[in-house]
A and B are shown apart, each in its own frame.
Chain A
């Protein structure tokens, strides 16, 4: 058998063995046997020197060709085997991906704060910034300066917590827990005069009321106040309508009814079409199709004056929203006590 024939036979043999090598170990052995330093192909290359001179170039070329071919075949086979082994390994590593993940306990913002933020965002778009006022107030700010003098029938609208030890003080000087956010109107006006004003006044309010599923002694309110040189009732209507469109949806109609508040005149009640029934009538809207969303009105001249603004030059509007009520309607919360009773099973749903 000529050297050439032996070389070709070796080539075929190597290729055949390569196909049989099924693991990286077997492949390593194959590489050692053929292509390693003591491998058969390497040995063949070394025999070139012993050949007749004229046969050397052709044989040498062929050895190199075969070596390259085998190296390529080796790489291809290696990739195949690695891939197969990886597949096997990954199959073995499969897990039940539906098992619960490592528990990360998420925190929750209180529902009231979420509701307030939603309101802040909407009013900020319309240029109303947040202004805060104290919880413990002077009677004068909560009542007298808002056009509600002592013993005035309008005071019946608010059941008040009075602060102990201030009762013997002059009327107006007594302290109380604010019954509404309206005292902030006087405070912001006195602070900002003579600038025009556009603020919302959020905060905790307190009422001396028996606690039921519908009424809490502590709740949040959000009041709005705009004072300027040419503000009108139609501006109020347009503004609360825009609010309603952003908050309740653009397809909800808004209506305005006459009402009474001592610190606004004219006073109105703002209704929006019921968010639940869309105006058809349901238990939430007491089958009227409308939900009361705000009490509002044009700032009473006496209040403007008490805030330092001349009512002959300035005018303004004010409105007051509940904070819990809209959230209750939206989520079907039937008991207002859940808000500040802080049942975490409730709060964690938001």
Chain B
């Protein structure tokens, strides 16, 4: 909200405060100033030189000897003799030949920097001494555009008649416009007067004028009903007050300069006196007003007096709003209606039919109060946000309605110079009780940690117009009607702290001992796993939890092979785009899309992600009962590209990463987690994977997940290049549980000081026999002396026969307490060979 400093000075003295100091004090008190626009002063887009751009008075207008459309203006600028200025201003041309004028203008000497009024856009130029059609010219009278005030370049700017001559213009029209970003639903801070009140409290200064007692100044006597309008509030819960003021004999004309300037500086567009005055009062006091064309407000059937009925809409009721849009209402939306139908959406926007136009002679001015939540609901449902709905949505004081109406009347009288004969009708069914709060001043210390003496607390609250009865404890604090945000003692504590100034608060540390601490296994597990994977050469990624649901389809290109994803998807009601419309139930799309994006720049990708998936469960358990959504942690790994980066000592054509690179990482990981033994491997069956290159992994009967090479069709569906893409998709809850069990079961025992005996064993088995099964049988048979079984060669060929393969293992035997004899070794070897023959049908190669 933009507030010109010059407007604030109507109510509180601020012009003696350095602008930056003011800004800091306001910031500190929670009135955040986002930007300051400087007008005329140093720092402005166009600073006005105080010596060269000054106020002056046009005294006479004489013809230009050599030009028809130009005149010579005799200007008194406070110097010894008047200056003759050549000008083409149409309004001066109209006064050609007149003398004894007192037209106050902005006057610039040669050397002054101004905007060029004769070109498009904003171009600065320096005023030079010259001759215009033979007449010397070393000064000018300025237009609004030349001063940077508006785009009006046609005519010159006129200052108010009481403006002194010879003053720097910056003292008259210079300004700072403070753009506030006030956080929170504070209706009382949505106005110039509201900010002035805060400044007065912060600096302990008096408020200089009261814009709220215009009714008294004007002698306006409100009545419950007038003879000019038939008022009814059908729903007092939603409309606590409605005032209607009739103002006749108005000439719809542009507003005077000062009012236009203020509105423009506030960011509002001047339109005509009526609209401008309603906007002005809204800005000044925070009460949104609406003017109806009095003659367009219809009476009830059979009646003659125009009627205003505030009621909820009938479902489906329609009206065209001021912006020309047709609106349809539901039965919770509050409307302003007349005898025939809707004329406005309460607190949001008026109707087109009753709009004030140039032909309007009389207006019915609404100053009312509506329930803030209802206004916000209506505004959100209709997606119609206006300055009025914004203010009402932050709660406006109902006591403000009448003073605001009176203030509008007062202003209209001032700016139109018209004799208007106002009458006010005021229905106030929801007049609130005066709010009081019981405050124990000890609470201030208990919450703030700073001892503020009682007298100081009272002074700070009184500065904010609270009334305190401190005779008995707790104090009774009367809340001003406009402080709708203050209802609890804590609200008063904040007010005291805020005005006292947080910059005066010391820092302390919590005195109480640290609460009972708990270990966070979940986080420890995650971090340990992350470090292991990074140590294995993988880059961590964190992808979007919101994905494109189509990506789930892309993961199973063969339609008959459905992908089993857990639960039901968590889809969004409102989405930014289809690509971000559903919570992921698998990490794979994120991994694949990351690879795709990076392959544009990089050839080798090796990533992992450790993150949660999200899905709705049909029958929530204790942990998910509240949200009905399960959020387990999963791990994905993706590898693709050359195995190693290009290197000078190896052939240029590097082999590509394949399944065994991924398997190697997994083997190392399982080793680190002590899970090599407990984990069971089998051929996997997952629609996203190459059917012959997928492993299913489980541990302690629980499914850990799969790893393998991406199915070529899935690879195509994700637009990845024709090279192996290795993927892993695991359930971390299962992995961490198994790792914790393994950790708990770990017993190291003593390490044997005796050298191991090594020997090799080549076994011929059926082609389909998984290597891991052979290894397992060897380990079992060789217990407890076999301590290493390493597969070092796989051979297929004529020597072993078709349908067979030879697996060569390097074994090492070791006893904890003695050196093994040849006899021991032979016995062990034979036991192993017998067992593999019996259990697996294996043959010792060459045996």
Is A300 in the interface zone, CB < 8 Å from B? yes
Chain A positions 192-211 with a Cβ under 8 Å from a chain B Cβ: 192, 195-198, 204, 206, 208-211
Number of interface residues of B (CB under 8 A): 94
- Which residue in chain A gives the minimum CB-CB distance to B491? A265
Q: Which of A106, A117, A130, A153 is B394 in contact with, Cβ under 8 Å?
A: A153
Partner of B573, one of A167, A241, A255, A261: A167
Is A136 in the interface zone, CB < 8 Å from B? yes
Residues of chain A from 288 to 336 with CB closer than 8 A to chain B in the complex: 298, 300-301, 311, 315
Within the complex, the shortest CB–CB distance from B123 to chain A, in Å, comes to 27
Distance from B522 Cβ to chain A, minimum over Cβ atoms (Å): 7
Interface status of A94 (Cβ within 8 A of chain B) = no
Q: Of B29, B372, B505, B570, which contacts A233 at CB under 8 A? A: B505
Q: Which residue of B lies closest to A136 (CB)?
A: B629
A130–B525 Cα distance when bound, in Å, is: 13
Contact of B629 among A120, A134, A259 (CB under 8 A): A134
Q: How many angstroms between the C-alpha atoms of A174 and B511 in the bound complex?
A: 40
A residues 143-158 touching B (CB-CB < 8 Å): 150-154, 157
B520 touches A235 (CB 8 A): no
B574 proximal to A (CB < 8 A): yes
Does B132 belong to the interface (CB within 8 Å)?
no
A100-B30 contact in complex given A135-B545, A238-B507, C-beta closer than 8 Å: no
**Contact in complex: A258, B545 (CB < 8 Å):** no
| Contact present for A163 and B539 (CB under 8 Å) | no
How many angstroms between the C-alpha atoms of A135 and B633 in the bound complex? 12
- Say whether B510 contacts A345, CB under 8 Å: no
Chain B residues in 8 Å Cβ range of A132: 522-523
Chain A residues near B507 (CB, 8 Å)? 234, 237-239, 241-242, 254
Q: Which residues of A, 244-285, contact B by the 8 Å Cβ criterion?
A: 254-262, 265-268
Interface stretch among B69-77, B108-116, B210-218, B441-449?
A: B441-449
* Chain B residues positioned under 8 Å from A108 (CB to CB): 534, 539-540
Q: Which of A151, A163, A226 contacts B377 (CB 8 A)?
A: A151
A343→B573 contact, CB < 8 A: no
| B531 partner residues in chain A, CB cutoff 8 A | 109
A161 at the B interface (CB under 8 A)? yes
Query: A134 to B627, Cβ gap below 8 A?
Result: yes
Is B627 touching A136 in the complex (CB atoms < 8 A)? yes
B571 engages A238 (CB within 8 Å) = no
- Let me know if A347 is at the binding interface, CB within 8 A: yes
Once the chains bind, are A152 and B627 in contact (CB under 8 Å)? no
Give the interface size class of chain A. 35 or more
Question: Across the interface, which residues of A come within 8 angstroms of B533, CB to CB?
Answer: 107
A102 and B576 contact, Cβ closer than 8 Å, known pairs A136-B583, A138-B626: no
Compute how far the CA of A137 lies from the CA of B631 in the bound complex, rounded to whole angstroms: 11
Given contacts A136-B570, A217-B576, A258-B498, contact A235 B509 (CB under 8 A): yes
Do the beta carbons of B505 and A234 come within 8 Å of each other? yes
Q: Which residues of B contact A196 (CB under 8 A)?
A: 512, 515
- Do residues A110 and B541 form an inter-chain contact, with CB atoms below 8 A? yes
Contact A298 B631 (CB under 8 A): no
A260 touches B629 (CB 8 A): no
B644 adjacent to A105 (CB under 8 Å) = yes
When chains A and B are docked, how far (Å) is the Cα of A250 from the Cα of B604? 42
Q: Are B546 and A217 in contact, CB atoms less than 8 angstroms apart?
A: yes
Q: Does A348 have its Cβ within 8 Å of any Cβ on chain B? A: yes
Judged by a CB distance under 8 angstroms, whether B823 is at the interface is no
B516-A195 in contact (CB<8A):
yes
Residues of B within 8 A of A90 (CB): none
Interface contact B502-A268, CB-CB below 8 Å: yes
Whether the Cβ atoms of A161 and B572 lie closer than 8 Å is yes
Q: B185 on the interface (CB 8 Å rule)?
A: yes
Contacts A196-B515, A210-B576, A259-B30 given; does A107 touch B539 at CB 8 Å? yes
Give Cα A55 to B655, complex, Å.
Answer: 83
For the complex, give the distance between the alpha carbons of A160 and B787 in Å.
58
**Which residue on A lies nearest to B371, using beta carbons?**
A151
Q: A266-B494, A340-B543 are in contact. Are A258 and B530 (CB under 8 A)?
A: no
Q: How far is the CA of A261 from the CA of B186 in the complex (A)?
A: 12
A84 to B515, CA, bound (A): 72
- Report B-chain residues with C-beta under 8 Å of the C-beta of A261: 183
* Any A CB within 8 A of the CB of B544: yes
| Chain B residues with CB under 8 A of A152 | 185, 373, 376
Establish whether residues A162 and B545, one from each chain, have CB atoms under 8 Å apart when the complex forms.
Answer: no
Residues of A within 8 A of B502 (CB): 233, 237, 255-258, 268
B647, CB-defined interface residue at 8 Å: yes
Report B748 CB to chain A, min CB distance, Å. Answer: 29
**Cα–Cα distance between A154 and B514 once the two chains are bound (Å):** 33
CB proximity of A207 to chain B, nearest CB, Å? 10
**Residues on A with beta carbons closer than 8 Å to the beta carbon of B515:** 127, 192, 195-198, 228
Which residues of the other chain, B, contact A99 by a CB distance below 8 angstroms?
648
Closest to A348 in B: B539
Any B CB within 8 A of the CB of A230:
yes
0/1 interface trace, chain B 542-584, chain A, CB 8 Å (1 if under): 1111100000000000000000000000111111100010010
- Given A109-B534, A153-B394, A345-B602, the answer on whether A298 and B447 have CB atoms closer than 8 Å is yes
**A204: B residues at CB distance < 8 A:** 545
Q: Are A242 and B509 in contact (CB under 8 A)?
A: yes
Q: Mark B166-207, 1 if CB is under 8 A from A, else 0.
A: 000000000000000001111000000000000000000000
Nearest CB in chain A: distance from B297 CB, A: 30
A105 and B505 within 8 A (CB): no
Is B614 in contact with chain A by the CB < 8 A criterion? yes
Beyond A157-B183, A238-B509, A257-B502, whether A105 also contacts B645 by CB under 8 A is yes
Residues of B within 8 A of A103 (CB): 644-645, 647
Which partner residue on chain B sits nearest A199 by CB separation?
Answer: B515
With known contacts A151-B380, A234-B449, A258-B29, A136–B537 Cβ distance under 8 A: no
Pairwise interchain contact A175-B394, C-beta atoms closer than 8 A: no
When A163-B573, A232-B447, A258-B502 are in contact, do A345 and B601 touch as well, CB less than 8 Å? yes
Chain B CB within 8 A of A113 CB: yes
Check A232–B573 contact: CB distance below 8 A: no
Q: Are B542 and A112 in contact (CB under 8 A)?
A: yes
Compute how far the CA of A343 lies from the CA of B598 in the bound complex, rounded to whole angstroms. 6
Q: Which residue of chain A has its CB nearest to the CB of B612?
A: A135
Task: Give B641 Cβ to nearest chain A Cβ, in Å.
Answer: 11
A107-B538, A347-B541 given as contacts; is B523 within 8 A of A151 (CB)? no
Q: How far is the CA of A160 from the CA of B29 in the complex (A)?
A: 29
For residue A150, which residues in chain B have a CB less than 8 angstroms away from its CB?
Answer: 373
- Interface-central residue, B32, B447, B448, B605, by most chain A CB under 10 Å: B447
Whole-angstrom CA separation of A231 from B512 in the bound complex: 8
CB within 8 A of B527: which of A117, A136, A177, A311?
A117
B316 to chain A, nearest CB (A): 20
Chain B CB count within 10 A is highest, among A153, A226, A238, A241, for A153
In the bound complex, what is the Cα–Cα distance between A113 and B611 (angstroms)? 12
Are B448 and A233 touching (Cβ within 8 A)?
yes
State the CA gap A197–B513 with chains docked (Å). Answer: 11
* Residues of chain A having any CB pair with chain B under 8 Å: 99-100, 102-110, 112-113, 117, 120, 127, 129-130, 132, 134-138, 150-154, 157, 160-167, 175, 177, 192, 195-198, 204, 206, 208-211, 217-218, 226, 228-235, 237-239, 241-242, 254-262, 265-268, 298, 300-301, 311, 315, 339-345, 347-348
**Which residues in B have some Cβ–Cβ distance to A below 8 Å?**
27-30, 32, 183-186, 372-373, 376-377, 380, 393-395, 446-450, 488, 490-491, 493-494, 497-498, 502-503, 505-512, 514-518, 520, 522-523, 527, 530-531, 533-546, 570-576, 580, 583, 594, 597-598, 601-602, 604-607, 612, 614, 626-629, 631, 644-645, 647-649
- Given A108-B540, A161-B573, A339-B542: 6 more A-B contacts, CB < 8 Å: A104-B537, A113-B530, A151-B380, A164-B572, A347-B540, A347-B541
14 interchain pairs, CB-CB under 8 A: A103-B647, A105-B604, A152-B376, A154-B184, A154-B185, A161-B573, A161-B574, A162-B574, A229-B512, A233-B447, A256-B505, A258-B497, A298-B490, A344-B539
Pick the 5 closest A-B CB pairs, nearest first: A232-B449, A258-B30, A260-B184, A238-B507, A234-B449
